[in-house]
Amino acid sequence: MGCYRKAKLALDALRSYTSKIVTRPSVEESAFSRIYQDGSLSSASNPAKFSGLSKSCNFYQRFGPGSQMGVNKINYNPFLGNCIGAKRFYYVDRYRVQHFKPRGPKRWFRNPRTVLIVVLVGSGAFITVYYGNLETVPYTKRTHFVLLSKAMERKMGETQFEQMKAAFKGKMLPALHPESVRMRLIAQDIIDALQRGLKREQVWSDMGYASQESDVAHEASAHETLKALSEREEKIEGKWYKEDEILDDNWVQQCRKKEKGLKADASHLDGLNWEILVVNEPVVNAFCLPGGKIVVFTGLLEHFRTDAEIATIIGHEVGHAVARHAAEGITKNLWVAILQLILYQFIMPDIANAMSVLFLRLPFSRRMEIEADYVGLLLMASAGYDPRIAPRVYEKLGKLTGDSALRDYLSTHPSGKRRAQLLAQAQVMEEALHIYRDRIAGRGDEGFFL
């Protein structure tokens, strides 16, 4: 009997002890405590650490933890944060139903009507802008797309010319310097030839020098031309093959046949104040800015001493102005920049830049140089200078600047040898010789650009 009592007392004590032990949290409470931890484990038993949906949240009241059988019961949704954060991803329609907000931009393209309107308006704007800015280059009859207006292009050239005069202050040869007078007379011959080639009726202003008008009379330069012609013709070795480079005579002739009925656009040449500036610098270079501003460096005159050689180079530079290559280059750079932004999404920026330069910018620049060679060849022939000197000039220029096998593919200018080979064998040389013979014979050569 005593043993029975002792066993009963021990059992009662064990039950009392076990009833005081805290029960293990449920699976839901464990998940809740694991999700909302901020350094230390928090649980549902500690409401101070719980920062879930409040009863003031609309979503909490309608779809989340709500009242069941009149009793408020907290149900945890592990996919939602607090009430403030949840409002970013939900919206309420007019029926007071809450929906997920789509992330990212609005899906406007899901509406066929909206897509059709955008496509039609965009296509109309593109066609209007594109065909409204197409122009035809004189002689080559190549159509090109230029966004820059003629007035803006001329303004840019004049601004750059003023900046250059300020930068080379003290290095510009005076207007009465013999070399300045000589350059002005040769340039005047080229500009007069351009006027005849376009059949201009108005008389352009005389060639100025650094914004100063000059009244120096024109002197004949036939003796220097004859002296150049009497020199031994250098034989141009090698034959031109089309597969060597895209630059060949065929693309010019195809453009002329294809666009035979188009009228060349030369309105950007109307009323230009042509000026020339000679800078005393040992640089073998010359260029023509938009707006008729020609700059020649004395380093070029040290290597090319005859008037015919200088006329070849000035005619080439004027050819850039005639074809609006500067404005076309700005437009091309815009398209290349857009293409680069697209390529950046797929390949590395360095690779995209290298590809755009190698396959877009450099080929375009080399082709523009060849086109300027063609236009300049006709200009010098119409001005009374033998066009057969031009290939020798470019070959000599290539030697001075350093020709290489990679120059035809990795430079903005083709090699001098390649340019000499092309001009010597191109059909444009025959046309230039015909213009030259008519000029020295006193026959008219008007309209050769049209």
Q: Check residue 360 and report its DSSP letter.
A: I
The Cα angle at residue 407 between residues 403 and 412, in degrees rounded to 5: 115
Q: Token pair 């011959």 is at which residue?
A: 189
259 in active site: no
396 Cβ contact list (under 8 Å, min separation 6): 303, 304, 416
The Cα angle at residue 389 between residues 385 and 390, in degrees rounded to 5: 95
Q: Which member of 275, 317, 369, 395 is catalytic?
A: 317
> Which of 386, 392, 375 is CA-nearest to residue 428?
375
**Residues 119, 138: Cα–Cα separation, whole Å:** 35
Asked if residues 139 and 378 have their Cβ atoms less than 8 Å apart, the reply is yes
Q: Give me 334's structure tokens.
A: 């815009």
**Residues 9, 365: Cα–Cα separation, whole Å:** 107
Amino acid at residue number 39: G
Say if strands 293-297 and 275-279 run parallel, antiparallel, or are unpaired: parallel
Asked if residues 279 and 260 have their Cβ atoms less than 8 Å apart, the reply is no
> Which of 336, 367, 366, 363 is CA-nearest to residue 352?
336
Amino acid at residue number 110: R
Q: Token pair 């020798």 is at which residue?
A: 392
**Residues 281, 307: Cα–Cα separation, whole Å:** 20
Burial grade of 291 (CB within 10 A; 0-12, 13-18, 19 or more): buried
**Residues 237, 275: Cα–Cα separation, whole Å:** 38
Amino acid at residue number 225: T
Which residues are tagged catalytic?
317
